Structure 1
């Protein structure tokens, strides 16, 4: 591997050779870390920027147009991540600040689907424990629950725990990628497609009054639901919540799905009735953990409401 040029390794990685990609990351890790330290100092943020860049490389190696310049491309990804952090006090989602010729309409999942390494990456993600995997999936592949603060609120854990699980996940992901490089990989796209159908079927069945059938088929009898400060157990609790929303005229529309074998995220738009447009927040993420194929734990994370113009004006006046 060490005798091959960057061009040869990059082209091999773009063709799906996972060993070649690992060789590229190992070869250029020192340069990537040097960029991060130069911009952020010897901090945890610098480590995060390098780790995020490695995940981006897994998803985006197919976008490298000049294979001989892959080292500069990797350093650019790190540099942009660092600059985004310096420009803002908030946590920056992994996709922010990078212009890598991707379509502005592409989702993180679609970017991953665009090249042959997708199934290998997801096979490695599957090796992570469910709590770590959920944090990694939200951070790197969800649409609306990506910052440390958002993930912490969604999962009901401290921000420090989010950071700890991300660091643990990134380290274990690198190990898992190496361990699964030569093995057969399941079709990650089929898993996501199946989960999308489950989401659509669940909502359609609920509107037909058949939600009890879905719960009996796919949800554990002692499933735990957490939504903010509300916590309940069992099918009856879930059924009352769904029937209450439907009776109020609220509908849900799936917009994005991220799925592994036993950790699944459904991101939904919430469609309020015309006569009560502020009944619910604009969206909700279903964060589900499965046990033997059945949903055992569901956390609902609602997107923040957008203040109405009158509310926004009142807030400005008050300040």
Structure 2
């Protein structure tokens, strides 16, 4: 029998459904960084992203037996995370008054520690501009752009995660980029 961390994602999900208490934890551990990045970039607020991610984990834990195997387990997990984020955005839309976070991506900040202070300020200013511009998009366009342009998923993979046709993802990205361009064009000059 394989050790739990040697099992493929599909085997882990199956083991979880069969009652192995360690299997789901290993699956989450294996993909947590990328799932967190998707949630954070979609929500633009670490606290909201953490809540959405927790909702997604609970949903995936409970619905694991409904996984049909039509897509990769990672695609299925990403779809659940994106859906949890979109649900939270829609629920919070009316009462949304939180400021944009100072730190959009902690990993990028840590990588930039060797840059001088002026460059760090410029980088933070640029992130704030991009975050504010993303905030002006509707949730569907933002989710498509985060997956394709920021997380590097193909259009087909993003379509699988978002549960829509590839053409819909292309359209959302096109429209989202068109709306972002005038808002961030001045960053190119710098």
TM-score higher than 0.5? no
Which is bigger in relative contact order (C-alpha 8 A, separation at least 6)? 2
If you compute each CA radius of gyration, which structure gives the higher value, 1 or 2?
A: 1
TM-score scaled to structure 2, two decimals? 0.44
**Greater helix content:** 2
